[in-house]
Amino acid sequence: MTFTSFKNARIVRSGWLDEGGRRLDCNPYMSGALEARDTLKRLPVTEKLSAVTARIFHAGREARLWVSDADHGVLFMGSSDIRVADFSALPLIAKRQVERNPLFTLGSGWTLITRSGTIGRMAYARPDMAGMACSEHVLRVVPDVGRIPSGYLYAFLSSRYGVPLVVSGTYGAIIQHIEPEHIAELPVPRFGPVFEQEVAQLIDAAAAERVAASKHRRAALELFQAKIGWSRDSDSIARAPMASALLGRMDAFHYSPRVETGRASLAAHFGIRLGDQVERVFEPNRGSRLKVTDPAFGVPFLSSSSVFELNPSAEYLVSRSLTPHLEGLLVSDCDVLIPRSGQLGGIIGRAVLPLPMNVGQAGSEHLVRVRCHSPQDAAYLWAVLASEPGYWALVGTAFGSSIPSLDSSLISDLTIPWLSDLDRQEIGALAEKAVVAQNKGNELEATAVALLEEKIRKES
């Protein structure tokens, strides 16, 4: 057997072993961190991360006190939430706990880095995240704005040079971690205020687009709910239905007040059957995912959770020619996507619109497609299904006790409001603005990071 027989093999220089204290775990050598470090060493000027930051910290571990009333709570982000596009499903942690431990609270312009489990996922804390609480499993890198622009620092840390260096500091065999001291000495390239401000302005513009997307998204949902006069009178989940109501199904959640109120509210205003107003509602056929590495022969594959991220991206490619039922997996701009399985309260039943950058890519068979007759219809129906009554009506159709699942035929049978043309256009236009702004934010961030990576490559 030869060296080339190993698919992911790498040559490790003996000098790297000496510099790392004879560290023999694969992580620092396989991540590309040492190559990145050697590239940065060739740059004219670098500074340690600790020298350009005011603080690097996490919140520390403590039990969390959850609340359901927004008057007494603060939106709380777990490590998997720092890159979500929509904050409406976030839980609330008690205000008094956050006041007692202000380390939970986020500030605008910080770089957030997941520090345990899946390490090195990053997000830029935009203005609408300021004041939210965040998990101890996320490192906060607070820039010293007098020394470095916050957007520039984020662009470097999230680049192909920054991420490997961050990840290389992990420790632990089963559940890996990083601590602030593990990244404090990372070299940060400096290229002068003009270039750094150019990169930072692109990152800040991306953040502004994402804030705008959130506002448009929220406005669309509030407008729809106002049009149908939605009001949830009670948070109770208990109810005693009549025996005659149990003829169709007997699971308790289906008859809970929130679900029944949601269904009734949707049905009370110009109600039509959902399946009669769209092209079709379907789940793609299941089949093996035949992975390829060459983009010429593959299609990016999106998971049912990735579509909720700010920048939905595929983890791998599936074969164009050999993947069974590939046509059914391809995402259309006329689709509303709905995860069909998972735990109640998670992503199951939460509707999302695909971004233009993801149209034509393959999406998981765990995403139900509500395929509409036009992108405008899809934008309006997203607001219907993503609204509070729409969500409860959707998730109320779930069946199964261990892992609840949705069924496309039951979704088709939902009665939904088909408002006037003018109302549908007004609501749909806000949803479309949200999609355009989120997509624009992704393009601006990608441009900023690419600009910095090219500068590093040329100067090294």
* Cα gap 214→197, rounded to integer Å: 25
Sorting pLDDT into bands at 50, 70 and 90, what band is 174?
Answer: very low
Q: What is the CATH number of the domain that holds 132?
A: 3.90.220.20
Over residues 120-130, mean pLDDT: 95
Sorting pLDDT into bands at 50, 70 and 90, what band is 12?
Answer: low
My answer on whether 163 and 236 are in the same domain is no
- Terminal CA-CA length for the chain: 36
Measured from the Cβ of residue 214, the count of other Cβ atoms closer than 10 Å reads 20
Q: At 11, which amino acid appears?
A: I
Segments of 89-227 assigned E as strands:
92-94, 111-114, 122-124, 133-134, 138-143, 187-189
Domain membership flag for residue 23: yes
Average pLDDT, the chain: 89
State the pLDDT at residue 3. 47
Which tokens in the block code for residue 26? 């694969």
* Cα gap 336→375, rounded to integer Å: 9
* Cα gap 99→118, rounded to integer Å: 29
Owning domain of residue 258: 229-418
Number of compact structural domains in the chain = 2
Alpha-helical regions (H) of 368-420:
375-386, 388-395, 408-412
Domain membership flag for residue 132: yes
My answer on whether 300 and 406 are in the same domain is yes
- pLDDT one-digit tens code per residue, 316-360: 999 999 888 899 999 999 999 999 988 888 899 999 999 999 999
CA 377 to chain CA mean position, Å? 24
My answer on whether 263 and 330 are in the same domain is yes
Contact 157, 203 (CB under 8 A): no
Over residues 136-143, mean pLDDT: 96
State the pLDDT at residue 311. 94
Segments of 186-341 assigned E as strands:
187-189, 271-273, 280-282, 291-292, 298-302, 316-319, 335-339
Least confident among 35-44, 248-257, 400-409, 427-436: 248-257
My answer on whether 7 and 153 are in the same domain is yes
Q: Give residues with Cβ within 8 angstroms of 229, minimum separation 6.
A: 265, 269
Over residues 157-181, mean pLDDT: 79
Measured from the Cβ of residue 395, the count of other Cβ atoms closer than 10 Å reads 23
- pLDDT one-digit tens code per residue, 371-391: 999 999 999 999 999 999 999
pLDDT for 235 beyond 60: no
State the pLDDT at residue 308. 94
Closest listed residue to residue 86, CA positions, set 225, 210, 230: 210
* Cα gap 199→445, rounded to integer Å: 9
- pLDDT one-digit tens code per residue, 89-119: 899 999 999 999 999 999 999 999 999 878 8
State the pLDDT at residue 62. 87
Q: Percentage of residues in the chain with pLDDT exceeding 70?
A: 87
Q: Give residues with Cβ within 8 angstroms of 2, minimum separation 6.
A: none
Domain membership flag for residue 210: no
The larger pLDDT score, comparing residue 20 to residue 12, is at 12
My answer on whether 322 and 388 are in the same domain is yes
Last-in-domain residue among 190, 218, 238: 190
Contact 277, 291 (CB under 8 A): no
My answer on whether 303 and 379 are in the same domain is yes
My answer on whether 246 and 167 are in the same domain is no
Longest C-alpha distance within the chain, in Å? 79
Indicate the burial class of 43 (C-beta count within 10 angstroms; 0-12, 13-18, 19 or more).
Answer: middle
My answer on whether 171 and 273 are in the same domain is no
My answer on whether 253 and 129 are in the same domain is no
* Cα gap 241→257, rounded to integer Å: 10
Torsion of CA 323, 325, 331, 337, to 10 degrees: -120
* Cα gap 364→60, rounded to integer Å: 36
Query: Percentages helix, strand, coil for the chain, rounded to the nearest 5?
Result: 40, 15, 40
My answer on whether 150 and 273 are in the same domain is no
My answer on whether 168 and 277 are in the same domain is no
